[in-house]
Amino acid sequence: MLGPPGAGKGTQAKIVAEKFDLAHISTGDIFRDNIKRKTELGKQVVAIVDAGGLVPDELTVALVKDRLQKDDCKNGAVLDGFPRTADQADALTELLAELGSEIAIVPYIKVRDSEVVERLSGRRTDKQTGKIYHLKYNPPPQGADLEHRKDDQEDTIRDRLEEYHNKTAPLIAYYEQKGLLQEIDGEEQIDVVSATVLRKVEATRA
Ligand code: ADP
Ligand code: AMP
């Protein structure tokens, strides 16, 4: 899943993973879990993640390499928030070749920067289930135990967008050249976006 922060990658990745029985791998979720549990990795990355920077490629690639070899990836995986740099993308191609696998599709969820700020300011996640909500666009149930991410404050959102445009957006052309990119209008409602994403994923499996 490619797209700016707040495009809906996590929202759509969960839907695709459930529908096709794939693992959902969110590098952001893995980093946040390690930060919460105060692991060695968590301590290494907390300042970077809180500031909206990118964790070094070696660390991130090693983590994904490990994760992709777990049992639940046998049927495939939806990668959400990875790769985010050209070096990560190259490493992923190599890694998948080693594992005898390859990328089927790169859904690029396109959303304007102005919309990203609105989306992330209103994003809330359920502390127990990890479900993603939005105060206005996808309201949480009453009484849910919600979290507002530290990096979802306006200043940090601007920094994350800058990182995205500098380091991640070049991957759009990279995957287009490989014939893997499928651009999707991410400004439609959630169910409209997922219908399109599911249709495009389905087409690669026919
Ligand atoms: P990402 O994983 O790309 O950062 P999320 O899936 O966490 O994005 O979505 C960011 C926020 O936008 C969440 O609050 C989510 O509920 C909301 N959202 C996701 N998709 C849409 C959509 N199509 N329309 C409106 N809000 C959306
Ligand atoms: P996300 O949950 O995808 O918004 O990611 C949250 C934060 O985790 C990012 O702002 C980065 O600090 C870090 N992160 C997640 N994925 C990566 C990645 N592939 N490369 C580097 N840093 C990442």
Q: For the residues 100-123, what does the mean pLDDT come to?
A: 97
Q: Which two tokens stand for residue 174?
A: 């990279």
83 preceded by cis ω (within 30°)?
Answer: yes
Q: For the residues 112-134, what does the mean pLDDT come to?
A: 96
Percent of the chain with pLDDT over 70: 100
pLDDT digit string (tens) for 70-82? 999 999 999 999 9
Tell me the residue type at 91: A
- How sure is the predictor about 206, in pLDDT bands with cuts at 50, 70 and 90? confident
Angle at 110 between CA 108 and CA 116, to 5 degrees: 125
Residue 27 alpha carbon, nearest atom of ligand 2: 16
pLDDT digit string (tens) for 11-68? 999 999 999 999 999 999 999 999 999 999 999 999 999 999 999 999 999 999 999 9
Q: Is 87 exposed, middle or buried (0-12, 13-18, 19+ CB in 10 A)?
A: middle
Q: 15: CA distance to ligand 2 center in Å? A: 20
Q: 58: CA distance to ligand 2 center in Å? A: 13
Helix 40-51 and helix 154-163, axial crossing angle in degrees, nearest 10: 100
Ligand 1: which of 134, 146, 198 to mutate, most ligand atoms within 8 Å of CB? 134
Residue 159 has a pLDDT of: 96
Q: 119: CA distance to ligand 2 center in Å? A: 17
Residue 189 has a pLDDT of: 97
Ligand 2: list residues with CB < 6 Å: 5, 26-28, 31, 48-49, 52-55, 60, 81-84, 88, 151, 160
Tell me the residue type at 29: D
Q: Is the pLDDT of residue 132 over 90?
A: yes
Residue 64 alpha carbon, nearest atom of ligand 2: 19
Q: 33: CA distance to ligand 2 center in Å? A: 12
Q: Is the pLDDT of residue 203 over 90?
A: yes
Ligand 1: list residues with CB < 6 Å: 3, 5-11, 119, 122-123, 132-134, 137-138, 186, 188-190, 193
pLDDT mean across residues, the chain: 97
Residue 205 has a pLDDT of: 87
Topology annotation, domain 9-121+152-204 = Rossmann fold (3.40.50)
Q: Are the beta carbons of 117 and 154 closer than 8 angstroms? A: yes
**pTM, rounded to two decimals:** 0.97
Residue 19 has a pLDDT of: 97
- Ramachandran angles phi, psi of 18, nearest 5°: -65, -45
pLDDT digit string (tens) for 134-192? 999 999 999 999 999 999 999 999 999 999 999 999 999 999 999 999 999 999 999 99
